[in-house]
Amino acid sequence: MPKLLSEAEIAAYRRDGYVAPLRAVDAAQAERWHQDIRRCCGATERVESAAGIRQNSNRAKPYLLFPWCAELVRHPAILDAVEDVIGPDILVFHTTLWWKAAGSEGFVPWHQDGTYFGLAPFDHVTAWLALTPSTEESGCVRILPGSHTHGQLPHADRKDPRLMLSRGQTAQVAIEERAAVPIPLLPGEFSLHHTLALHASAPNRAAQDRIGLGISYIPAQVRHIGPTRLSATLVRGTNRFNHFDLEAAPRADADAAAIAAHADSLDRFWRASEGIPEMSLAH
């Protein structure tokens, strides 16, 4: 029996590649996490690499740096929904803080999350948690229903500083924009989408920042197919497969042990993802 989703919502996820909106926490808790983000993950510089412009380091995998974020990715309501679609043994593979400043030109092009993860099989799911209102005006996620059934699609790297993906990865397929569905979310609400679902988001034209956290959850049987041994965090169930080195939760905000663990995990992640050839050349 499902833990949080209804049978109809599970069927919708299987059919459309996403389900939303779902409630994780109330507005008061969402605001506390919002303030934690502003306190811990404010202005930092994005680092340029040979592959593109990486996310700010404290906005990638912040659950390894800050106890409040370690608590967030383990929240029972989110995990209950995730378990309903991928099963009881759950790892966090990656997280990204999506912070679109009010009136900024940053946007996310059409893409599939799994393009540069190097994971198999494609059974993972992204939970996108809103910590401020995510509206069409502020550039909420838009998704193409059913696109997850098309398999891995070719992508090309675009080195454009407005693109909020590290390699500017953009799907090299015709997009039927009229078929796209917006996913507006209130603070404390989240969506789930399949790793192969095509999605994008526009610039923020609202008067306030749009802030949300994308959490990539994988079932324990999923493995990384590249040569780099990666790390992940077990957040529910058991890890019977040993495909990843397990990460520890931080004991205090950005203490020495947390900073070292975070740096090691990100170094492996970037080395692995940037080592994957441009998808337009691999197909």
Supply the pLDDT for residue 274. Answer: 87
H runs (alpha helix) in the chain: 7-16, 27-40, 67-73, 76-86, 256-274, 279-282
User: What confidence tens digit (pLDDT) does each residue in 84-123 have?
Assistant: 999 999 999 999 999 999 999 999 999 999 999 999 999 9
The 3-state DSSP class for residue 132 equals coil
Is residue 143 within 8 A of residue 210, CB to CB? The reply is no
- What is the mean predicted confidence (pLDDT) over 68-77? 98
Q: Which two tokens stand for residue 110?
A: 């059409």
Task: Decide if pLDDT at 50 tops 70.
Answer: no
Supply the pLDDT for residue 54. Answer: 43
Is residue 150 within 8 A of residue 210, CB to CB? The reply is no
Supply the pLDDT for residue 48. Answer: 52
The 3-state DSSP class for residue 72 equals helix
Supply the pLDDT for residue 163. Answer: 85
% the chain with pLDDT above 70: 94
Q: Please give the biggest Cα pair distance in the chain.
A: 49
7-16 vs 76-86: helix axis angle to the nearest 10?
60
- What Å distances lie between residue 131 and 148, 164, 208, 250, CA to CA? 26, 18, 12, 22
Rounded to the nearest integer, the mean pLDDT of the chain is 93
Task: Decide if pLDDT at 1 tops 90.
Answer: no
Q: How far apart are CA 247 and CA 7, in angstroms?
A: 33
User: What confidence tens digit (pLDDT) does each residue in 241-274 have?
Assistant: 999 999 999 999 999 999 999 999 999 999 999 8
- What is the mean predicted confidence (pLDDT) over 143-167? 91
The region of weakest confidence among 44-48, 111-115, 184-188, 244-248 is 44-48
Work out the pLDDT band at 280, boundaries 50, 70, 90: confident
Supply the pLDDT for residue 52. Answer: 45
- Could you confirm whether domain 7-276 is CATH 2.60.120.620? yes
